[in-house]
Structure 1
Amino acid sequence: MMNRRHCLQRLGTAGLGSAWPVIAGMPAPERLATWVDGKAAAERHSERAHSLAPEDAFHLAKLIPEFRFETFVRGQSNAAAWEACQRIAGDPASAHGALYLQGGQGLGKSHLMNAIGYQVLAQNPRAKVRFVHSERFAFELRQLREAGQPGQIETGLDQYRNLDLLLFDDPGFLSNKPSAQSVFAHVFQTLLERGKTLVFSDERFMAMVPGINHRLRDLFSQSVEISVAAPDLETRLAILRHRAAWWKIELPEGVAMDLATSCPTNVRELEGALRRLMAESRYVGIPIDPRMARRVLRDFSPLANAVT
């Protein structure tokens, strides 16, 4: 795994183009656009992309509205990933290649991928961007095959081969799915040959995922790989303060410190605890304080009994 300085040197001032040779290959299901059938649907998607307002383009790409760069808290644990994603979003035309973000659950990988898509579409609503999850890809590929209509798979895959930016979550789900891996590799190769950009995120690097064929493993090995680590205490506190300001809630420093100390590895759980406090404060009409936090979070693992 490369360190931050090496990664950014490989990215170069021109983006990702000089860092990534041509390689091959192809979020949660609720985030993925429905795979529409047939050539007419693919063409309809392309036509819409050329006339969309930014808000409509965001919806079509299946991006999460809250996940933008301005809502992401940068710290030492995610600085290299943040800079690489900023570079792609700032100049997607020259950033062709593949970036692979690795890290545990709830550390901001999906947030960063969404942020790239939002910035690209804000600058150019006509850009063809999509955020997808490997589980949804495999499911819809199976649907296309079961339909049994000649050429339907090819026309369905055109929606991916014609993208400018593919944001692909959890490629490790394709483990032990040789047919899906083969199609994935073909789409991936096509996008790279066309000078497009791909961003992946997973808990493991593909070299550590079993059940991946040699071709796909070799192709992923050519990606720029950056790890996202668990945030340190200072970053966790910054996240809580940022979210509290964003959600317009008063968060006592003592409660913030207790939350940050008690949830060291998962930002999603940290934010979930803060959401509970926010809901209780707003709906019951009481301020957030240590006593209220103890009561509300007593059954919220891993924060149970953590607030003093």
Structure 2
Amino acid sequence: MSKSATSVWDNCLTFVKDNISDQAYKTWFQPINAVKLNDNALSIQVPSKFFYEWLEEHYVDLLKVALTKEIGKGAKLVYVIRMENAKGNRQPFTEKIPSTQRSNVNSQSIDFPSRQKNPELRNPFVIPGIRNLKIDSQLNSNYTFDNFLEGTSNRLARSASLAVANKPGGTSFNPLLIFGGVGLGKTHLAHAIGLQVKDKFPDKTVLYISADKFTQQHIDAVSKNNRNDFIHFYQIVDVLIVDDIQLISGKKGTQDVFFHIFNHLHQNGKQVILTSDKAPVDMQDIQQRLLSRFKWGLSAELAQPDFETRIKIIKNKLYNDGVEMADEILDYVASRITANIRELEGAIISLIAHSTFSKKEITIDLAEQIVKNYVKNNKKPISLDDIQNVVSDYFHIEIEELQSKSRKRNVVQARQIAMYFAKEITKTSLTSIGRHIGQRDHSTVLHSCKIVSNLQESDKQYRKFIQDLEIKFKQL
């Protein structure tokens, strides 16, 4: 009784499944379809050139044993690649012949090729022609959990990151989205997760990439008609870390492809870690279907470090560099640089360098000079408390009344204006603004900001309120 291509391939799959992991089977063999059986040659359809090269490199021996058991000696395998062009139109089936088998130009079959030793490709993003996929995780070994100091401002984000690192894909924190302002440690935590995963689970594939670089790779893949290869590459990653995900805002093509990659990873128990300078609810020009997925797991905010945390950061830096500093100088620097850990560490580095090169002690005078001359933002940033104080004073109401549930017209007006300036001046999320100004939700803050913006254009007196307050904030 003659065998069909489907039955031969099904028997081969049964053998393959018994010899590899379930995840590898789902990723590399389930998408394959049998096309035809011609004598001792079985044709199978693979989704892309990337699939073909991966099978050839990693599973050719297993396939040879399986096919020989079914067909006998002299078994041959034909890879049929279904290509997709940049416009999404399907091209006719083409049969792929590896360069090692092209001595007979008219041949359409692929004998099982012998393995060739090629140099490892450290760059994971050169999609065409990948032979031995050795992914460089792109992680910075300096960013570890050990040197990320915990404080009240980052405790949730750090604890969640540790949980994910110890059990990637196995917690409810998937995706884990870490958000907060510039220089608060988002990238540090993202790298720390990746490094710990690689240490605890050496077999897992970890990849860190910035959203900008991801976007550029997608553009290049589309221009070279390698979009499928691009998608398949990212679908094999076990832990995908994307930094500054908000930068895909307005980029529809990139959002579409990331949506499919995200779905595949999430459905297969892979871990996704994202960082952003804002919470999902505050992101603009990103598809709702993506935003809803960003909210599936945990969104953990990194707030500005409190005074105690800033002191701990300075002391840790000094300890690592073997430098001592008087408490009054520690207090001075920590009280002046409040919003950005990066600037805080930069000031300490400058302070140590000046002391070392000039062979002088670190004094309060030197600290004042450094804070003044070397910190980009040495002026204390305006806080939510500052904004509420200024607005309450301007409208002659108490802060308690501003934060109350009062619906008096003058109180509502002051509250809306305070929310407006909080959004304009600070990098605080809408959720945090609402929580600080009367326990409101983010939608109330957004509504208030729209009202203030509209009234500025139509109401002359209202516009004067805003102008007067802008001057007061500049004077802080």
The TM-score normalised by the length of structure 1 is 0.77
Question: Could you tell me which residue of structure 1 aligns to residue 140 of structure 2?
Answer: 64
Structure 2 counterpart of 1:44, from 95, 113, 132:
132
Q: In structure 2, what is the Cα distance between the partners aligned to 1:281 and 1:126?
A: 46
- Tell me whether 1:84 sits opposite 2:160 in the alignment: yes
AA at the equivalent of 1:91? K
Structure 1, residues 220-278: CA drift from partner, whole Å, max 9, x if none?
22231111111110111011101111222223222211111011111111111111112
Larger radius of gyration: 2
Summarize the alignment of residues 223-262 of structure 1 with structure 2, pairs less than 5 Å apart.
Answer: 223-262=297-336
- Tell me whether 1:160 sits opposite 2:228 in the alignment: no
Instruction: Give the number of equivalent residue pairs.
Output: 257
SS at match of 1:65: coil
Summarize the alignment of residues 183-194 of structure 1 with structure 2, pairs less than 5 Å apart.
Answer: 183-194=257-268
Q: In structure 1, what is the Cα distance between the partners aligned to 2:358 and 2:228?
A: 54
User: How much has 1:106 moved relative to structure 2?
Assistant: 1.1
229 and 296 in structure 1: CA distance in 2 versus 1, 3 angstrom threshold: closer
Residue pair 2:333, 2:371 contacting (<8 A) in 1 also: no
Q: In structure 1, what is the Cα distance between the partners aligned to 2:141 and 2:357?
A: 24
- Unaligned 5+ segments in structure 2 are 1-121, 381-476
The TM-score normalised by the length of structure 2 is 0.51
Residue pair 1:35, 1:156 contacting (<8 A) in 2 also: no
Summarize the alignment of residues 174-189 of structure 1 with structure 2, pairs less than 5 Å apart.
Answer: 174-189=248-263
Between the two proteins, what is the percent identity of the paired residues?
26
Question: Could you tell me which residue of structure 2 aligns to residue 281 of structure 1?
Answer: 355
95 and 273 in structure 1: CA distance in 2 versus 1, 3 angstrom threshold: same
Structure 2 counterpart of 1:118, from 195, 214, 220:
195
Residue pair 1:106, 1:267 contacting (<8 A) in 2 also: yes
Question: Could you tell me which residue of structure 2 aligns to residue 143 of structure 1?
Answer: 220
- Tell me whether 1:302 sits opposite 2:361 in the alignment: no
Q: In structure 2, what is the Cα distance between the partners aligned to 1:39 and 1:251?
A: 55
Moved more, 244-253 or 192-201: 244-253
125 and 98 in structure 1: CA distance in 2 versus 1, 3 angstrom threshold: same
Residue pair 1:100, 1:199 contacting (<8 A) in 2 also: yes
40 and 285 in structure 1: CA distance in 2 versus 1, 3 angstrom threshold: farther
Residue pair 2:151, 2:309 contacting (<8 A) in 1 also: yes
Q: In structure 2, what is the Cα distance between the partners aligned to 1:175 and 1:233?
A: 34
AA at the equivalent of 1:86? L
- Tell me whether 1:129 sits opposite 2:206 in the alignment: yes
Structure 1 counterpart of 2:176, from 69, 76, 99:
99
Q: In structure 1, what is the Cα distance between the partners aligned to 2:132 and 2:352?
A: 42
Q: In structure 1, what is the Cα distance between the partners aligned to 2:286 and 2:123?
A: 26
User: How much has 1:192 moved relative to structure 2?
Assistant: 0.6
Q: In structure 1, what is the Cα distance between the partners aligned to 2:257 and 2:191?
A: 24
227 and 93 in structure 1: CA distance in 2 versus 1, 3 angstrom threshold: closer
Q: In structure 2, what is the Cα distance between the partners aligned to 1:238 and 1:295?
A: 22
Q: In structure 2, what is the Cα distance between the partners aligned to 1:215 and 1:90?
A: 29
Q: In structure 1, what is the Cα distance between the partners aligned to 2:155 and 2:308?
A: 14
User: How much has 1:35 moved relative to structure 2?
Assistant: 5.3
User: How much has 1:39 moved relative to structure 2?
Assistant: 5.0
User: How much has 1:191 moved relative to structure 2?
Assistant: 0.5
SS at match of 2:140: coil
AA at the equivalent of 2:220? Q
SS at match of 2:132: helix
Residue pair 1:121, 1:127 contacting (<8 A) in 2 also: yes
User: How much has 1:290 moved relative to structure 2?
Assistant: 1.7
304 and 296 in structure 1: CA distance in 2 versus 1, 3 angstrom threshold: farther
Question: Could you tell me which residue of structure 2 aligns to residue 25 of structure 1?
Answer: none
Residue pair 2:336, 2:378 contacting (<8 A) in 1 also: yes
Q: In structure 2, what is the Cα distance between the partners aligned to 1:286 and 1:156?
A: 56
SS at match of 1:201: strand
Q: In structure 2, what is the Cα distance between the partners aligned to 1:227 and 1:162?
A: 29
278 and 44 in structure 1: CA distance in 2 versus 1, 3 angstrom threshold: farther
Residue pair 1:297, 1:304 contacting (<8 A) in 2 also: no
User: How much has 1:304 moved relative to structure 2?
Assistant: 7.2
Q: In structure 1, what is the Cα distance between the partners aligned to 2:286 and 2:252?
A: 8
Q: In structure 1, what is the Cα distance between the partners aligned to 2:335 and 2:327?
A: 12
SS at match of 1:69: coil
User: How much has 1:113 moved relative to structure 2?
Assistant: 1.1
Structure 1, residues 133-185: CA drift from partner, whole Å, max 9, x if none?
11111111112222x34xx2222333321111111111111111101100011
- Tell me whether 1:199 sits opposite 2:273 in the alignment: yes
Structure 2 counterpart of 1:220, from 284, 294, 311:
294
AA at the equivalent of 1:73? L
AA at the equivalent of 1:67? Y
Q: In structure 1, what is the Cα distance between the partners aligned to 2:370 and 2:178?
A: 34
SS at match of 1:38: coil
